[in-house]
Structure 1
Amino acid sequence: MSLPLIVLVILALAAAGFVLGRGRAMASAGGDIRLLHSLPGYYGWNVALAAMIPAFLALVLWLAIQPVVINGQVSSMISQGSIDASSLDLVMSDVRRVAEGLDTAVAAGALTAEEAGSLRTEFTDVRERLGQVGVALGSDVTSETLHAAQRYRELSGLGDLGRAIVVLGLAVLGAAWAWQRSNKDFRARNSVERVVRWILIAAASIAVLTTVGIALSLIFNTVEFFRLYPAADFFFGLTWSPSFGGGSELGIIPLIWATLYISLIALAVSVPVGLFAAVYLSEYATPAVRAVAKPLLEVLAGIPTIVYGLFALLTVGPLLVDVFGNGGLLGVDWMAGGTAVMTAGLVMGIMLIPFVSSLSDDIINAVPQAMRDGSLGLGATHSETVKQVILPAALPGIVGAILLAASRAIGETMIVVLGAGAAAKLSLNPFEAMTTVTAKIVSQLTGDADFASPEALVAFSLGMTLFVITLGLNIFALYIVRKYREQYE
């Protein structure tokens, strides 16, 4: 039974359990809802959850464990005397591809299940046979690979059958157990709310554990990097010159400088525009204008960053060269090429406008109306009220929005890869090409990186540094916003 079909059957059993559980509870009360401890829907949800939760947990565990067990069984069939771990992975990849090809051929009717299990390379060109049903293989199939693929199919079939039996059996047993408990005195509401609380705890734990996992994966590789390269040279070095042949200089200062420089230009663009847009939308715009302008402004937040990067590379960069380079409109020659700090900073600033405007707009709207009315009642004009009452009251929240936008700018990758250039340097000229921490993380891990070398491991140290910086900014921003909200809510 296929995975989608199993999921649909579980949901159907849960739906049936909902109806049956609700009906049994009502029947035990003689149809009088007043005699029930909980509302009828709680009895139905108790049965539905009892059917779904054990089944889905078993399904997830089965999907995680089955491939590991099958790979272990099949890999033992591969002669490993002359291959290493990476070569074994390639062979197993071929085995899985041939097994999937046999399944495709059986599904297409080109082979019967018996033929797929009895094929031999001595009598059949397996590559050509699978190619006839649209399965392309990069090389001829050896006898060993074919036998392993057939064994892989056999074990996968048994595993899928066992998965369907166990998972659906748990769904039926869970529904039956909960249905049997459904009577007018059963505290169904307490049971359902307890289960929902644990589901919410699990969801929150996944988010927290994901963050912990990211941090740990960076920490271990960062520690390994500092075993190979001096930490003082990394944090205080002024030269970034990696060389996979040896003799690398991996100072982070030029990368940090370019990252902060581009972020500063981005904030210089996004903060005034976003803040002024927020003030207009919250204090001056009519409801009709706000209903149209706010969604249009927030569309900028939904544009993929790769599109912004192409916009920087193809439009903003050449436009700046026409103005500031090659004796352009201003008659100056400050900019030699389209990739520069200014290019990336301007485009990133455009990207950050909705972050600043949306958060600032919500914060300004949260200022109590009584403060506006009091200012206007004392004779202040609308503009004076905005300047002297509303903005000062909303300032902590606005600062938090700006810090969140700053952390977003520091972590941006695609815009700086395409718009800022690849040169690691310390310079005050915003029309020069520079590179950032995120761009170098990409470049150091691109290609055949040897993770035993400091030139590859440095990417994890760069990521850890960036993680600490952005995490600190986010924590500080959330602290400020929370303090503001506690003050006015």
Structure 2
Amino acid sequence: MSASLAAAAPASLPVTSERLKKKRTRHMKEQVIEALLFFAACVSVFTTVAILYILVSESLVFFEHVPLFDFLTDTQWTPLFADAHYGILPLLSGTLTVAGVGLLVAIPLGTIIAIYLSEFASTRVRETVKPFLELLEGIPTIVYGYFALLFVTPLLQMIFPELPGFNMLSAGLVIGVMIVPYISSVAEDAMRAVPMALREASYATGATRFQTAIKVVTPSAISGIAAAYILGVSRAVGETMVVAVAAGMQPKLTFDPTEGAGTITAYIVQVALGDLPHGEIGYQTIFAAGLVLVLLTLLFNILGYWLRRKFREAY
């Protein structure tokens, strides 16, 4: 008996070592994959920190020449003129007005499309509509800009004859159409992730399909829907080419969408493509304006996070 065990032992050793070798190789592969994933996460964090560092450090140089109080309260923005003024309010009003018009179009339309595709559309309709929405996402923004200038603006001038050629209304409307796919796609994915058991429970209590979609599915997916809205806000605030082409680039403190005005992004493009050398106060203004844009986006993200928590507690 012992002789047979001794004879069998050497034969089993290669099998055991082969298993250990495979296990060690698999463990090393998992460590490599984990390291790659960690590196990818660090790249995003490093990029964000680097952007903030550049904006803050360059903005501090700008604020050595321009008081912060004047920057936040002056109603004129003429940094490239002989009589220079550095008030961010005209650019900020243009940015908020254009983004507001766009969101008034995109949020209702995107939400309605998301509810329809998630709860009412057949599989065939959904597979037909979704590619068209994705196609809208892929159109270059400069094309949207010329569409706003050459099609939407003349169309609006038929209704409002005194509407100028460059105005924030046409730019905002086109931006709203442009960000509809972002909102509808993310919101629809959030709604389709809601468990079917919630829908079935709602139907069992006698609720209609519409009542289930509005009172059960939408509140359950509010976190994803809020994320879609924040994505749309960030996209509208940061849009460049549409406002540069259709809204004009003349800073003006106004919230009237029928007038032309400049935005923060349009001004950054205007200066970045100019001949101002790095280090001059006129060039440093783009970093201060960019910092305001980042803080504005951060404010909207904080607001979205607060709304998500509030709705979660409510439901």
Is residue 397–residue 484 contact of structure 1 (8 Å, CA) maintained in 2? Answer: no
- Displacement of 1:479: 7.1
Partner of 1:269: 105
- Displacement of 1:265: 0.6
Is residue 397–residue 480 contact of structure 1 (8 Å, CA) maintained in 2? Answer: no
CA RMSD of aligned residues (A): 2.7
Q: What is the distance in 2 between the residues matched to 1:395 and 1:189?
A: 40
Q: Which amino acid aligns with 1:315?
A: F
Deviation per CA, 1:55-83, whole angstroms, max 9, x where unpaired?
A: xxxxxxxxxxxxxxxxxxxxxxxxxxxxx
Flag structure 2 segments of 5+ consecutive residues without an equivalent: 1-10
2:18 to 24, 29, 36: 36
Is residue 244–residue 455 contact of structure 1 (8 Å, CA) maintained in 2? Answer: no
- Displacement of 1:366: 2.0
Flag structure 1 segments of 5+ consecutive residues without an equivalent: 1-28, 39-183, 326-332
1:223 and 2:60 correspond: yes
2:164 to 336, 342, 346: 336
- Displacement of 1:457: 0.5
- Displacement of 1:476: 4.8
* Alignment length (residue pairs): 305
Q: What is the distance in 1 between the residues matched to 2:310 and 2:256?
A: 39
Q: What is the distance in 2 between the residues matched to 1:36 and 1:475?
A: 54
- Displacement of 1:294: 1.4
Compared CA separation, residues 485 and 397, structure 1 to 2 (3 A): farther
1:323 and 2:159 correspond: yes
Compared CA separation, residues 391 and 186, structure 1 to 2 (3 A): closer
1:287 and 2:123 correspond: yes
- Displacement of 1:451: 2.8
Partner of 1:391: 218
Q: What is the distance in 2 between the residues matched to 1:229 and 1:240?
A: 12
2:233 to 397, 406, 410: 406
Deviation per CA, 1:307-350, whole angstroms, max 9, x where unpaired?
A: 1112112211222223211xxxxxxx3x122x211011010001
1:300 and 2:136 correspond: yes
- Displacement of 1:185: 7.9
Q: What is the distance in 1 between the residues matched to 2:40 and 2:314?
A: 30
Deviation per CA, 1:67-115, whole angstroms, max 9, x where unpaired?
A: xxxxxxxxxxxxxxxxxxxxxxxxxxxxxxxxxxxxxxxxxxxxxxxxx
2:185 to 326, 350, 358: 358
Partner of 1:379: 206
Q: Give the number of the structure whose alpha-carbon radius of gyration is greater.
A: 1
Q: Percent identity?
A: 41
Q: What is the distance in 1 between the residues matched to 2:255 and 2:39?
A: 49
Is residue 233–residue 251 contact of structure 1 (8 Å, CA) maintained in 2? Answer: yes
- Greater Cα offset, 260-269 or 384-393: 384-393
Aligned pairs for 1:386-465 within 5 A: 386-465=213-292
Partner of 1:199: 36
TM-score normalized with structure 2 length? 0.88
Q: Which amino acid aligns with 2:72?
A: F
TM-score normalized with structure 1 length? 0.58
Partner of 1:235: 72
- Return the structure number with greater relative CO, CA threshold 8 A, min gap 6: 2
Is residue 400–residue 480 contact of structure 1 (8 Å, CA) maintained in 2? Answer: no
- Displacement of 1:480: 6.0
Q: What is the distance in 1 between the residues matched to 2:156 and 2:68?
A: 39
